[in-house]
Amino acid sequence: MSGTYPHIRLHLALGLVFGAVLAAGATTGAWGSQSPPVGQPVSVQRRLSDDAARSWVAQSGDRWAAFYTAQQYARVSESLAGRYVGVGLWVTRTPDGVDSVTAVRAGSPAAGAGVRPGERLLTVDGRQVTGLPVTDVVALLRGDGVRGGSPVTLTLQRAGGVRAVTLHRQLLDADDVVLDHPARGVTRIVVSAFTTGVGDQVEAALRQNAGRSGTGILLDLRGNSGGLVDEAVETASAFLDGGPVASYQADGAAVQLTAEPGGDTGTPLVVLVDGGTMSAAELLTGALQDRGRAVVVGSRTFGKGAVQQPTTLADGSVLERTVGHYRTPAGHDPDGTGITPDITVPPSAGPQAAESTAIEVLDGLAGTTP
């Protein structure tokens, strides 16, 4: 996948992105004196200074509005293209506030330095990270505006003691689609974000699964923060035979999003969601639920149905504002309310309980499929 992101993909029709821009706060390290009123023409917005743009975001009342420097938006674009600059490790915060390495990407700088799951991350470039939110730790690991090749020094602790390693960041593929088989006859497709090529990858996974005797498909959208709407629609097309996916009005223009014909409508399908399922992932979930194509299992989704339009300012910085809200095929607006699963598994039950319930539901669907 190319590291250069084609601008046409960032300007879908009205320049629309559905999502929290793939948790861009963690990716870029930031979200972004007179202010134009909300709805001021784009040509006027293009002449804003950085300070005025930030002021507009703060005063607009648009909770999804954001301002990005040119460097920050380049990182967002890179993420939407399914790539990121980093060292190839995942961290989680333990109950005592310590960040622990949970996974290491094969072939990454972290793997080359012998970093292993279970090690505790103590410092990043000399800064203590104990007690910091994971998003802040990720921002430190990736850097703000840096490119591949930049160094970052980590202090790690494991059974053998404490050590310091200096890694050089690389441009890595995000691996936003993962295929596995958590139970006999079950094919799970995990989609972590809707970046460039995800729709094709899901369709490829279904082709790989075609003809395989089994229970069905588990589409795991837990923690999916959204992304590119056309990739979500293409993913919906993999499971539908044409018809509506969603609709929205942006600046007075009505737009219908429609699935391509010829998708797999026969294989039993369960969609697994949670409170981290956002935006484009909610759009897909709502379409499959409303169309009767899937049973949705898990906890209520995040509740972001806003449509953003990015406007590039004179210095290359970007002002992003909400221009509309989408609705599911049945007319539901998930913004602020989320999507309610058909079968609810409370978050307190844990992720394994939700997965087990989803597999049980698939077993039941398979038993009723002719």
Count CA within 13 A, CB hemisphere, residue 278: 21
CB under 8 Å to 116, separation ≥6 — which residues?
101, 104, 158
230 in active site: no
Q: How far apart are CA 289 and CA 295, in angstroms?
A: 6
* Catalytic choice (225, 279, 299, 317): 279
CB under 8 Å to 316, separation ≥6 — which residues?
70, 73
* Catalytic choice (99, 220, 290, 335): 290
Q: How far apart are CA 17 and CA 12, in angstroms?
A: 8
List the Cα angle 135/141/146 in 5-degree steps.
Answer: 110
290 in active site: yes
Tokens representing residue 92 in the block: 């989680």
* Catalytic choice (176, 225, 230, 304): 304
Report which residue type is found at 118.
Answer: G
- Dihedral (C-alpha) 206, 210, 213, 214: value to the nearest 10 degrees? 10
Q: How far apart are CA 146 and CA 151, in angstroms?
A: 10
Beta strands in 44-150 (DSSP E): 66-68, 83-86, 89-93, 99-104, 120-124, 127-128
Report which residue type is found at 67.
Answer: F
Closest CA to 18 of 284, 341, 251: 284
Catalytic positions are: 279, 290, 304
